[in-house]
Structure formats: structure tokens, C-alpha cells
A and B are shown apart, each in its own frame.
Chain A
Amino acid sequence: MKKSLLLILVLILSISMVAVFSEVAPAEEAPLPSGKLVIWSWAPNELWLDASLDGFKEEYPDIEWEHVSYGTGDVYVNLPLALTAGKGAPDICLIENSHLSSIVEMGGLLDITEKIQPYIDNLATYKLKECRKDEKYYAVPWDGSPVAMYYRRDVFEKAGLPTDPESVEELVSTWDKYYEVAKTIKEETGLYMQACTKANNNGRLLEMLLWERGLGYIDDEGKVSINSPEVVETLEFIGKMTSEGLYSDEVDWTDGWYAEFKSLDKPVASYIEASWMSGIFKSWLAPETSGLWGIVHMPAYEEGGVRASADGGSSLIITEQCQNPEAAWALIEYALLRDQSVINCFVAGDYTPSLVTSYDSDVFKVKDPFYAGQVIGTMFNDIMLNIPKANIYTAEYAEMSSLTVPEIAKYLTGKQSAQEALDNAAAAIRAATGRK
């Protein structure tokens, strides 16, 4: 009897102890995400990512991250292998938008629709297209890739043309006027408007021009449209420029091509490319030409038309294999979806942000000495907001591009007409992808 009484007493005591102490425990609070994250990217992006994460440690002291830097392009071999194998994938990976759709299509990426929903309206619309599949989001856009025309002031001066950006902007406001300017420069100075190699053409100039017109490999219904009359017309314009000797024949990323930018007496007159080229010019390609360049909007198809296009740019994804999705999202949210972070990234690496709410910052209004004191940040931001929707980066972009590029090369080297080239490309794409 005594024993059982003792037992009941102990029981009542322990229950009351628990009750008391649970009162004293702090109120329910979600713990900060923590953990170690592995991020895959390629040089020099880890530097700009770290710049974006300035101050991150104060807010999330328990999250650590490690960069794995691959050679350019190697990520697209290693990531799918890791995803299909079911292990070995990183927590976060950087992917160019040109490849993003096919990797989203493949699967293995974390669905972040709910997390990104509050930020959708703050992000550049055109960049979200590849991040999205069937109304669900799988990636967060990072750097934008607005296309403009870089031009050499010294070449324009030698050709007797105005050199200040306002005048040049008007001078090349349409592609027909651009053609006339190119001819003038060729006659007066003997220099080329830019490089566009024939046999080894990589198709990117055509893609930029098509994007400006809202055209693409497929139309909005998914049917192959690379041989539509407007595309043929665009290709024929490039053909006219190359056949009349207005474009040089240097192959991209070779010594001859570099020389055309670096040269102080025999450069190209201009170059149509995205904002990321600026960082490349400044850092290693042509630092000695600082002060000789200017930037204007690319020509439009008709007077008053769209003068914006895109080429490249990347986004970050979280893989389903990530053990710490909360921590991964915290990192991405801090680095890509906060104004100050993307501004830091712009300051460090000249990356135009996709987060349009950051565009008010004074940082973009800085006069850039490389461009003889011109303000270029606001120009690229303005282009970002005007980039049209185009079906260039599709889920089968790599295949479509590799089937179209040789046909373009055959056209530019005079082996077939533009219509034939694009018809062949369309037929090949239809056979390869099963699209109509």
C-alpha cells in the first residue's frame, strides 16, 4: 500500500513538473535555416555570387556555402548526369537560360512556385519564361542580358560620322540606316562594321535579331517557325552584310577576333552583343581601348520599333536532391531577390540585374570612363524592360541551334539560298523533335 502511494505521489509530482517547465519554455519560433550548401557554377560567377552575399552571414549565421567551379559548359554535362543518377547533384546550380528549359524539362529540380510568387512582378518578364514550366517555377533569374550596339568612337570619327551617343543613336535607328553607316565606314576607312564569320558562324547574331522581332525557332503554338518569311528576311539581311564585305570573317573567340577589338588602328567599328560583353572588354579583352567606346540601342526593324534583344544570362536552381531546401532558398532569396544584393553584384561584375526594383539606384547612373563618360547602367536597364517575348530558348534549344547553324553557314558561304537554308533547318528540327 505504501509503495503504490509513493508511486502515485511521484507520478503527480513529475506531471506537475513537466507542466511547470513547459510553461517556462519560450514561445514557438521557427529556427533559422542552417546547413552547408554546395553551389555549382563556372568562373568568374562565384565571385559575383559572393559579392551578392555580402552581409548574408549576419542574417543567417548558420548557413555555409561552398563553390564548385567548372569549366564553361561542363556544368551542362555534369548536372544532368547527377540528376539522372539520383545523387551527386549540388544544392544550388547556376544555369544559363539557353540550357535552362531543357534541364527543367528533364526533371529533378525543386518546385519553388510558392516561394517565388511574391517576387514575380519585380523580375524582368522575359527572363522568367525559361524558369517556368506549366505555370510552375523552378529557377530564379540572376543576370540579365540586354543587347545593345557597342561602337568605336574613333572609327566613326575617322569615317566623318558623329561620335556622341545621341547622334549615333539616331544614325543607326533602323537596320537600313545601319547598313548605310556600315557602307560609309567601309568606303571612308576600309574597316568592318563587326565580325560575322561565314563558314564557322555560330548563329547568335541571327538569334539576337530574331529575338528583337519576337520571332523564334517555334511559334507560340509550338510549331516550327524558323523558316517563316520574316526569319528568311532577317537572315538575308545578315547575308547582305557579309556578302558585301561589311562584316569581317573572324571566328568568334579566336586571336583574329580578339585583335579586332583590341586594335587601336584597325578595329571593328561596332559590335552587337549583350551587357556581359562590357565586363569582358574591360577585364581582359580590350582594356587598352578604354575611352574609345560608346553604347547605343541596337537598330530597329522600322522607325520607332523595338530596339531591344537578349543573348544569354543565367538563373539559379535548387535540386530536389538538396537536403536543406530552406537554407538554399534563404541564400538565393538574399542574393538574387534583394535590391542591395543585385546592386552589389552590378558594382562588382557589371551584371545587369533581373530584379527591376533595383533600377532606381544611383549606382546605375555612374559615368563610365571606358565609354568616355557615358552612363550605360540606365541604358541597359531600359533595354531590359523592353525585351520582347521570343521563342529562342526552348526546351530543345541545343538541338535546334545545332541543326540550324550549319544551314546558316551554308547560306553565308553561298552554297544555298536563305529560304533553302531555313527550310532545311525546319525539316531537320521537325524530324528531330517531332514538332509540326
Chain B
Amino acid sequence: MFTYFFSNQRNNQERFSKTMAIDTRVLKRMKESWGEVKKKRWAYIFISPFYILFAIFSMYPIIFSIYLSFTKWKGMGPKVFVGLANYRRLFGDPIFWQSIRNGVIIFFLYVPIMTFLALVLAVILNAKFVRFFRIFRTMLFVPYVTTMIAVGYVFRIMMNTKYGLFNMVLTSIGISPVPWLDNVWWARVSISLLIMWAWLGYNMVIMLAGLQTIPKDLVEAATIDGANPAQAFFRITVPLMRPIILFSVILSTIGSFGLFNEVYTLTTVGDVPGGPMYATITPLVYIYQQAFRNYNFSYASAVSCIYFVIIFVLTLLQLRYFGREY
């Protein structure tokens, strides 16, 4: 029995010293990195406030949200673990898929036109023969600075079918009134118009900045060689502006799925947002409705996780196929 005890001890000792050796190597490496950190500790101290706040207000809620999506919780009381039940419900949820569809529809309704217009306006304003270009640039940019909530409500009043300004103008020139907010497709157009009004200036300014990076000689050389402005635009400017256009389109993609203020102010009637008949609801609005109207915090968390995945994939795809330099 003694021998058994002793040999066990020796085995354990060997194992122990081996583990100790490995641990020592790891420890040594850790000590080295810590030494590095200590050397540059002031740099780390200065950047730490951001990371601490980020950890508390971004990382923790994200992790908590992911955890919540596997539970059933209505705000108070215990959180009951339900596994994938929320996700199963989500995949069969017609309103969620309608919100994704709406995001795609609204994207195609305003992004092509707005990006093209922004680029064209930027090129026009960039040309030296436009006088007072700064005034035009400011006028186009000012809508971006306004508060979407206020603008949304004003547009809503102006788009009233019977008494709104838009229809009054249309009827005065002989066009029959348009059901801006009472019809499924017109409501989507109304949202698109609102976004275009607010964001055209912003995108134009981004394009303007991008245009500054294109050497003037390129376009000049092309014009000397006989290219007309349209050819110069499409063959030289647009390809060189590709990273900027890509940036604008990616932002618009994320934006069109994440519309909130516009939908809440323009197309919400009573307690049901994203009308009429959920024609304009977006995933973000649906998440808010589930969390703060129906108090289904766990379901809302599941929706937001899937929403994140969808946007992430869309952005990756865009970067991969349209941003080959990246």
C-alpha cells in the first residue's frame, strides 16, 4: 500500500512538474506582454475610458441581449430558458419577413436615384463654371441638419390626402390627388421621398469630397482626346469614385433597414407603426414594438440578433462584390 502511495505520488509529481513547466512558459509570455503594457501604460490609460464605457454600454448589452434571446422574459420576474423557441417563432413570423421585404423595396425605391443624383450634383458643383457653388452646396446640405422627427410630422401634414399641401398643388395643376399615406405603395414612395429630401445633401457632400481626390488632368486629358462630358463622367469619374459610391450604398443599405424616425412619424396611425397594413415597417421598428409595446423583451432580442446577422451578411456581400480593392 505504501509503494502504491509513493508511486502515485511520484507520478503526480512528474505530471505536476510537467504542467509547471508548461505553465511557466505561458506565464513567462504573459509576463513579457504585461511588461510591454506597463512600459506604455500611459497610452493604455488614456484609451481605457472609451473601452470601459464601450464594455459597459455596448458589449454588456449585446451579450445580455444574445442571452435574452434564448429566454422568455416580459420585463419582470424570472427569465425562463426556452432554447430556440424565439428563433423558431421568428422564422415563421410574417411581420418580420414583411419588414425585411420592406427594407429591400424601400432601398430600391430611393438608393439608385439618390446616389446617382448625389453624384451628378457633386460633379456639377465641382465644375468651376458654377457660380455661388458654396451657396448651392449649403442649401442642398441643410435638410440633413434638420431633426427627422419634426420633418416627419410636417411631411405627414403636407401629405394628408384631402387637406395636405402636396395634393393641393397637384389638384391645382390638374392632377388627381395622390393617397400618399393611405395606399401601400404610395406610403413606401412617401418614405423614400422623405429620406431623399433629408439625405441627398449628405451624400452629395461625401461625393464632393471624393471628387477632390480625382486629379483634374484625367478629365481634361479625356476631353482633349474628344470625350464628351457624359463619356468622361461614366468612363472616368464613376469608376474612380467607386469606393465612395460603395461607402454611400453600404450606409444606405444599413439605413433603409434601420429606418425608425421616418416610419414612426410618417406612417404610424394610432398604436400600430409601419402602416398602412405594415407596408412600411422596418426591422428596427418591429424590434421596438415588440420590446416596448408588447414587453416581449426576449423575442425582440432574438429579432435584433437575426437583424444583425442579415445586415452583416449584406455588408460583407457588398464589400466582396463591389469593393474589390478591399
Q: Judge whether B163 and A200 touch: CB under 8 Å.
A: no
Q: Judge whether A431 and B275 touch: CB under 8 Å.
A: no
**B277 at interface, CB cutoff 8 A:** yes
Q: How far in angstroms is the closest Cβ of chain A from B72?
A: 9
From B275, B289, B292, contact of A406 by CB (8 A): B275
B184 (CB) vs chain A CBs: closest residue: A199
Which residues of A in the span 267-287 have a Cβ within 8 Å of any Cβ on B? none
User: How distant is the Cα of A83 from the Cα of B77 in the complex, in angstroms?
Assistant: 11
Contact residues on A (Cβ < 8 Å of other chain), bracket: 35 or more
Q: Judge whether A410 and B161 touch: CB under 8 Å.
A: no
**A102 at interface, CB cutoff 8 A:** yes
B93 (CB) vs chain A CBs: closest residue: A431
Which residues of B in the span 152-190 have a Cβ within 8 Å of any Cβ on A? 157, 160-164, 179, 181-184
**A190 at interface, CB cutoff 8 A:** no
Q: Judge whether B76 and A108 touch: CB under 8 Å.
A: yes
Q: Judge whether A406 and B160 touch: CB under 8 Å.
A: no
Q: Judge whether A431 and B272 touch: CB under 8 Å.
A: no
Say what secondary structure dominates the interface of chain B: loop
Q: Judge whether A200 and B276 touch: CB under 8 Å.
A: yes
Residues on A with beta carbons closer than 8 Å to the beta carbon of B93: 431
Q: How far in angstroms is the closest Cβ of chain B from A415?
A: 8
- How many residues on B have C-beta within 8 angstroms of the other chain's C-beta atoms? 34
**B229 at interface, CB cutoff 8 A:** no
Residues on B with beta carbons closer than 8 Å to the beta carbon of A431: 89, 92-93
Residues 110-131 of chain B, each 1 if its beta carbon lies under 8 Å from chain A, else 0: 0000000000000000000000
Assuming A200-B181, A251-B182, A398-B293, is B162 touching A256 (CB within 8 A)?
A: yes
Q: Judge whether B293 and A250 touch: CB under 8 Å.
A: no
Residues on B with beta carbons closer than 8 Å to the beta carbon of A406: 272, 275-278
B183 (CB) vs chain A CBs: closest residue: A199
Which residues of B in the span 80-107 have a Cβ within 8 Å of any Cβ on A? 89, 92-95
**B231 at interface, CB cutoff 8 A:** no
**B226 at interface, CB cutoff 8 A:** no
Q: Judge whether A398 and B271 touch: CB under 8 Å.
A: yes
**A15 at interface, CB cutoff 8 A:** no
Q: Judge whether A402 and B277 touch: CB under 8 Å.
A: no
Hey, which bits of chain A sit against chain B, CB under 8 A?
73, 76-77, 80, 83-84, 102, 105-108, 197-200, 202, 204, 249-252, 254-256, 259, 396, 398-399, 401-403, 405-406, 409-410, 413, 428, 431-432
* 6 pairs of A and B residues whose beta carbons are closest in the complex: A202-B270, A199-B276, A256-B162, A200-B269, A399-B294, A107-B76
User: Can you name 27 A-B residue pairings with CB atoms under 8 Å?
Assistant: A76-B293, A80-B295, A105-B74, A106-B75, A106-B295, A107-B76, A199-B182, A199-B183, A200-B181, A200-B182, A200-B276, A202-B271, A250-B162, A252-B269, A256-B161, A259-B163, A398-B271, A401-B271, A401-B272, A402-B271, A405-B270, A405-B272, A409-B276, A413-B277, A428-B94, A431-B89, A432-B294
Hey, which bits of chain B sit against chain A, CB under 8 A?
74-77, 89, 92-95, 157, 160-164, 179, 181-184, 269-272, 275-278, 289, 292-296
